[in-house]
Homo-oligomer: A and B are copies of this chain.
Amino acid sequence: MTDLTTLALLELHGSLADPTLESMNFLNEVAGRHPGALSLAAGRPYEEFFEIADLHRYLERYQRYLTEEQGLTPEQARRAFFQYGRTKGIIHELVARNLAVDERITADPESIVITVGCQEAMFLVLRALRRDERDVVLAVAPTYVGLTGAAKLVDLPVRTVPGGPGGVDLDELAATVRRARAEGLRPRACYLLADHSNPSGLSLDLATRRALLELAEREDLLLLEDNPYGVFATDPDNRPPTLKALDTRGRVVYLGSYAKTGLPGARVGFVVADQLVAAADGSRSLLADELAKLKSMLTVNTAPIAQAVIAGKLLEHGGSLVKANEREIALYRENLARLLAGLAAAFPPGRGVTWNTPSGGFFLVVDVPFEVDDALLETSARDYGLLWTPMHHFTDAPQARRQLRLSVSLLTPEQVTEGLRRLTRLIEDRLG
């Protein structure tokens, strides 16, 4: 073995020494060591409604769409499934329809790039925006680890902006932009989830959305709106429009995912990038086309077979993921309601245990009057049979050391009730 080629970690890219990765490894490792524990940690979608037979039906549905609705010959349809395809993807028209139906977003299909999950979309956008060492990206804290990871890959520093109870502190955002500029840096964009954020569970109200768009215009800043959970609103008919739906100036780059709403195993996401890019010779292109150039050097294109599966699911439900997820939405709603009611019953005011009240999505944050560290998670998994996520993994903010994130997506309502029972016991034992 000593003869084998050995590389020094210190001579490999710096992202490999990043603590974010250690966080995720630790959390996965704890979960792996306690397979019997109930998971209020996992952010994966509920899976009991999936059937392998669905795959076949989705593929056939898309095949019929290509030949019967799009007028392709069988040979052309076969080529769409099997060959290298358009770098920007082949289901952009269906994604645009989906955005119109579910999100009130009017997107030019040509401004859409289909990506390998939303993670690749984040990478492409950050890769494009990171020109040199003067560039930074802002992110509302606590921040989704995928954004932090993608930024590490391109050596792009992330400056966090406090979220606060409203989801984003606009004064702090403006101040952060100005501070960065005063240091000679270029804050290129601010990343956030406006709906049912991971990990905070918070959503922005309509006034905050409008004010944020105005701030972006005033400060000449892009907003990177990531929206994997929007369709999981508790009250789907009364959720505020996405930032992108409100955006009249092209300030918002919209990051979409079908991992929670379509199929995680298809790894299909997308980005709507309708901004213009001006070359020195005066010619203009869509930012989406520039991102596609980067994608051609990264993954060439998103597996057409995976795109076909998502397309079939969209087609089966008239382009609506709200319709496609009726059972899931009802389940998550019930789970969240159970969790909120159970917490209220277990911890009346004055005990020092508080939590926020998300309007949908998978996540909720509980504040407790004692330290929430990795040792407590270990104890919880081993002695109480319960997994959750210490918030300090998502942010350096001091209050995060007394917060835990709960997720309701992978459990049945009965399991949520049992999880709550275990959580109550864990907390009560520490309140003394």
Contacts and interface: CB of A to CB of B under 8 A. Distances in A.
Interface centre among A12, A47, A263 (most CB of B within 10 A): A12
Task: Count this chain's copies in the assembly.
Answer: 2
Interface centre among A222, A249, A280, A294 (most CB of B within 10 A): A294
Interface residues of A, number: 87
A201 B20 CA distance: 44
A128 B59 CA distance: 36
Nearest to A306: B303
Interface string A1-29: 00111111111111110000100100000
Interface string A296-326: 1111111111100100000000000000000
Given A129-B12, A278-B7, A296-B149, A52 B24 contact: no
A11 to B, nearest CB: 6
A264 B294 contact: no
Nearest to A50: B82
A264 B82 contact: yes
Interface string A272-305: 0011111110001101001001101111111111
Contacts of A8: 277-278
Interface centre among A284, A287, A290, A299 (most CB of B within 10 A): A299
A78 B55 CA distance: 11
Nearest to A14: B131
A222 B15 CA distance: 21
A135 to B, nearest CB: 8
A47 B78 contact: yes
Contact of A83 (B51, B153, B264): B264
B84 A298 contact: no
A79 interface: yes
A117 interface: yes
Contacts of A77: 52
A83 B278 CA distance: 40
5 nearest A-B pairs in the assembled complex, by CB-CB distance: A149-B297, A5-B250, A267-B303, A265-B304, A4-B250
29 contacts: A3-B248, A3-B249, A5-B251, A6-B275, A6-B278, A7-B278, A8-B277, A9-B278, A10-B279, A11-B131, A12-B128, A12-B290, A21-B296, A47-B78, A50-B81, A52-B63, A55-B59, A82-B263, A83-B264, A83-B265, A84-B265, A85-B265, A123-B297, A146-B297, A149-B296, A152-B297, A298-B298, A305-B306, A306-B306
